[in-house]
Structure 1
Amino acid sequence: MTRTNKGHSIYLQLILLLTVAAAAAGIAFVALDTAGTWLIDNYYDTPEFNRKKDSFYIEKMQQYIDENQLGYEDAAELRAWVKEQQVISVRIYKGNTLMFNSDNPEQQSIEEDAQVEEYDWITFYPVEFADGTAMAGIWGWYVYQLYNYVWVAALIASFVLFLLLTLTGIRRKMAYIARLSTEIGILEGGSLDYEITVKGRDELSTLARGLDDMRLNFRNMIAREAEMVRENQKTITEMSHDLRTPVTSILLYTEILKKGNYADQEQLAEYLDKIDRNARRMKQLTDHLFEYSLVSGGQEITLEEPESYEELFYDLLSETCSFLGQRGFQIEAQMEWRSTRVRIHTEYVARILDNITSNILKYANPQTPVKISTLYIGKMAGFAFENEIQEKTEQTDSTCVGLQSIKNMMQKMGGSSQTYQLDGRFRIEILFPCEQEASGS
């Protein structure tokens, strides 16, 4: 399984998403606030706008004075009204006497040298009080509220943008999780050919890749099990056929003997000899079947510690060559011992060599040499046995069980077994995985 790149982890992606969203929101806030301030400065903060607002508040103050019958001296009521408006300041003059100052109540009823007309930056309006007419000067920070509104609106808009960007990024991951959940449901339904979607290089993609690898392994395991079932059925069928011949012969000759249908003692001995040969053939076939049932089962084996390839097999192959030579076979051995180490299960290796030797004795032509050689393919080391196939002069028992047993035993040891038959020659190759291989060999 591919490991997650730390630079693409979900944690860092979330931090990056929040950082980008915050940066975009900050830029949006500055842009909106600047644009709003420019609009206020150019379209609202003007003398005409200020005069309109002044007139509005003067009318509002006049209405308040009329409703409450206020006079010049009712400063507390006037101050309360001005404070309620929040954005204006008011001065009231009776002649040259300052009657009311909302910014500084201490200056009330103080005669000033300055004339009302000298405050040219303030617009004065006549106001009718209960005790006479006075001039009211008013000014305000009317656009101040607009600036606040713009600031709040820009803040809200930028916060909404931040949420949208964050939720959009999170939604993509949630959509991927939902898709994985759907695809897992498809796998649970048995559709092992459906490929899990792998996107990105974060923890979710690693999980998806692991699920897809698990799908492939499970599918391959089911395929292997189905193949084993087919091989077992084929083996049983062939074994039944192989057993049927000697059983039929035994029944035939025993029936002959029971009825006494033989000419003399010589023919009786011949029939008994045929019964004996067929019985031995049946025993050998049943022994092979028993061995096949043992190695094809689900029981796991424990491999021995790695040892030198030469030390493990030199004596075993020497004994095999010596035995075949004693049985009349010529041996051509081509051995190249490389410095490598393998792990084996000794009992299985002994059975494998016994089966190979048995096949050679039954099917090899003793008039041509049997070739035995070491074999190295990639990171695998093993042996090859090759012989010419002898023409059959009589019915011989099948070798399918023995070869299948060899294949099963090699697979359990992590190796492989391959057989080839071409132009009247038979070749079997067995390979073990190497634990260590010397580079100079």
Structure 2
Amino acid sequence: MWSKKIKGKKLAVQILEYLLISVLVSGFVFCFLYYLSGTLAENYFVYRGTELTRVQERVLAVWRSSICAFGALAVFVVLFLFMLGQRLSYLIRIIRGVERLREQEETEGKDGKTIQTEIPLEGNDELAELAGAINYLSAVRRELDMRERRMQEEKEAWIRSLSHDIRTPLTSMLSYSELVLSREETDREELFRALVLTREKARQIKELTDQLMEGERQKEEPAEDLGLLFAQLAQEWEAVLEERFAVQTEVSGLAGASGMADIDSLQRVWDNLISNVEKYADPDQPVTLKIERGPDEAERGGVRAVITQKNAVRKDDFYKESYGIGLKNIRRIVSRYQGEAEVTEDGESFQIKIRLYFPPLLQNSSEIPS
């Protein structure tokens, strides 16, 4: 890529050089023709035995000079135009290259494809600088277009992700409320649990809509007891699913562990896990959730947690279609925890294993744009 000014001869200096070279060559041609014609004329008249008068010699000299000058002038014009034509033809190629770049820009605007076309650099004068500058501006424009398309794609993916995550707590609220309403008798404790769940999901929906309006941010805060935090999430997971599925939960190894955590993001991961069970799990088979402590970070400190959810896959065709938005959301969120989500599916069973890293409490909480 052209990134700095090409240092070389000025175009005017090159033209003067072409002019000087043409003058020297044409002068040499004139002298060569003049003396060659003089020698030939002298030999011719000696051979014929003709002796010229002084006037005839002057006339012959004028004719020789005129013919040789005309020949030298022809050589000068041809040579000068030939050398100058090389730069003029390069200028024409630059103009055509600019036209191709303009046509390419129009084509890219229609089909979204990027085709890299550059004007070749020839010489080291202002024309080469011009070609290099055009190539540089073209490359910058392509880079800006690529960044704009990438940002647009990321924005659309983020909106789809957030829209999916907004629907997930709504689905949980509807499912749980319908379950409570379907019973003829509901005790006070169950109603209280339904209200608590509804309030929590409503708060989460508000948080998600705020992110949609203001932009997504990662907000880490101290979690003094990660074991308690994950136990609460596991209880919520069990409370939402236990009426329709045979659920099993296990939380081990995190009691007393602490770290910096974005609880809202964790809640979104949890909602996607619940949604995945509700949509695709076989209700006749058990669904398990296991949360355990991963290997400690020897150098950085902090805590690693491993979350494993496993269920059988339901067979009815109604649930065959899946866009994978929930899994994409989980992968995107856990990547901010320097983690990963590993999915294993064989058509009969489905398992997702999530690994998360929580920095130690010594780090200051901060809001980091995602």
User: Which range, TM-score by smaller chain?
Assistant: 0.5 to 0.7
Q: How far did 1:31 drift?
A: 0.6
Q: How far did 1:330 drift?
A: 4.6
Counterparts in 2 of 1:426 and 1:29: CA distance versus 1, 3 Å: farther
Secondary structure in 1 matching 2:50 = helix
Q: How far did 1:249 drift?
A: 2.5
- Alignment-derived partner of residue 302 in structure 1: none
Counterparts in 2 of 1:426 and 1:199: CA distance versus 1, 3 Å: farther
Letter of the structure 2 residue corresponding to residue 228 of structure 1: M
Residue from 135, 144, 147 that aligns with 1:212: 135
Residue from 55, 59, 65 that aligns with 1:145: 59
Please say which structure displays the higher CA radius of gyration.
1
Residue from 215, 235, 257 that aligns with 1:329: 257
User: Which deviations, in whole Å up to 9, do the C-alpha atoms of 1:278-319 show, x marking residues without a partner?
Assistant: 212222322333343799xxxxxxxxxxxxxxxxxxxxxxx9
User: Which deviations, in whole Å up to 9, do the C-alpha atoms of 1:140-173 show, x marking residues without a partner?
Assistant: 4312211111112212221221121111122111
Letter of the structure 2 residue corresponding to residue 13 of structure 1: Q
User: Which deviations, in whole Å up to 9, do the C-alpha atoms of 1:216-273 show, x marking residues without a partner?
Assistant: 2222222222222322232222222222221122234455677885422111112111
- Alignment-derived partner of residue 19 in structure 1: 20
Q: Percent identity?
A: 21
Q: How far did 1:24 drift?
A: 0.7
Tell whether the 8 Å contact from 2:294 to 2:306 is kept in structure 1 after alignment: no
Residue from 124, 147, 162 that aligns with 1:239: 162
Q: How far did 1:35 drift?
A: 0.7
The CA distance in 1 between the partners of 2:209 and 2:39, in whole Å, is 101
Secondary structure in 2 matching 1:49 = coil
- Alignment-derived partner of residue 243 in structure 2: none
Tell whether the 8 Å contact from 1:420 to 1:426 is kept in structure 2 after alignment: yes
Q: Does 1:391 align with 2:308?
A: yes
Residue from 193, 199, 202 that aligns with 1:279: 202
Counterparts of 1:341-352 in structure 2, within 5 Å, are none
Tell whether the 8 Å contact from 1:329 to 1:369 is kept in structure 2 after alignment: no
The CA distance in 1 between the partners of 2:95 and 2:358, in whole Å, is 48
Counterparts in 2 of 1:269 and 1:12: CA distance versus 1, 3 Å: same
Q: How far did 1:175 drift?
A: 0.9
Asked which structure has the greater RCO (Cα within 8 Å, sep 6+), the reply is: 2
Tell whether the 8 Å contact from 2:261 to 2:358 is kept in structure 1 after alignment: no
Counterparts of 1:187-266 in structure 2, within 5 Å, are 187-189=101-103, 190=105, 192-254=115-177, 262-266=185-189
User: Which deviations, in whole Å up to 9, do the C-alpha atoms of 1:316-341 show, x marking residues without a partner?
Assistant: xxx96xx245655356xxxxxxxxxx
Q: Does 1:36 align with 2:33?
A: no
Counterparts in 2 of 1:360 and 1:293: CA distance versus 1, 3 Å: closer
Secondary structure in 1 matching 2:49 = helix
Letter of the structure 1 residue corresponding to residue 87 of structure 2: K
Tell whether the 8 Å contact from 1:292 to 1:402 is kept in structure 2 after alignment: no
Secondary structure in 2 matching 1:3 = coil
User: Which deviations, in whole Å up to 9, do the C-alpha atoms of 1:105-148 show, x marking residues without a partner?
Assistant: xxxxxxxxxxxxxxxxxxxxxxxxxxxxxxxxxx5431221111
Secondary structure in 1 matching 2:304 = strand
Tell whether the 8 Å contact from 2:297 to 2:304 is kept in structure 1 after alignment: yes
The CA distance in 2 between the partners of 1:396 and 1:215, in whole Å, is 39
Tell whether the 8 Å contact from 1:329 to 1:367 is kept in structure 2 after alignment: no
The CA distance in 1 between the partners of 2:94 and 2:303, in whole Å, is 52
- Alignment-derived partner of residue 4 in structure 1: 6
Residue from 71, 83, 88 that aligns with 1:174: 88
Structure 2, gaps ≥5 residues long: 108-114, 227-255, 271-289, 312-325, 343-352, 360-370
Letter of the structure 2 residue corresponding to residue 200 of structure 1: G
TM-score by length of 1: 0.51
- What is the CA RMSD across the aligned residues, in angstroms? 4.4
Secondary structure in 2 matching 1:141 = helix
Tell whether the 8 Å contact from 2:292 to 2:306 is kept in structure 1 after alignment: no
Q: Does 1:165 align with 2:166?
A: no
Tell whether the 8 Å contact from 1:330 to 1:366 is kept in structure 2 after alignment: no
TM-score by length of 2: 0.60
Counterparts in 2 of 1:421 and 1:156: CA distance versus 1, 3 Å: farther
- Alignment-derived partner of residue 95 in structure 1: none
Tell whether the 8 Å contact from 1:370 to 1:387 is kept in structure 2 after alignment: yes
The CA distance in 1 between the partners of 2:50 and 2:358, in whole Å, is 104
Secondary structure in 2 matching 1:390 = strand
Secondary structure in 1 matching 2:308 = coil
Structure 1, gaps ≥5 residues long: 54-138, 296-318, 332-352, 375-383, 407-416, 430-441
Letter of the structure 2 residue corresponding to residue 202 of structure 1: D
Counterparts in 2 of 1:210 and 1:140: CA distance versus 1, 3 Å: closer
Q: How far did 1:28 drift?
A: 0.8
Counterparts in 2 of 1:263 and 1:330: CA distance versus 1, 3 Å: closer
Letter of the structure 1 residue corresponding to residue 79 of structure 2: L
Tell whether the 8 Å contact from 1:385 to 1:427 is kept in structure 2 after alignment: yes
Counterparts of 1:66-85 in structure 2, within 5 Å, are none
Tell whether the 8 Å contact from 1:17 to 1:166 is kept in structure 2 after alignment: yes
The CA distance in 1 between the partners of 2:198 and 2:306, in whole Å, is 27
Tell whether the 8 Å contact from 2:211 to 2:217 is kept in structure 1 after alignment: no
The CA distance in 2 between the partners of 1:183 and 1:155, in whole Å, is 41
The CA distance in 2 between the partners of 1:354 and 1:22, in whole Å, is 82
Counterparts in 2 of 1:164 and 1:421: CA distance versus 1, 3 Å: farther
Letter of the structure 1 residue corresponding to residue 4 of structure 2: T
Letter of the structure 2 residue corresponding to residue 11 of structure 1: A
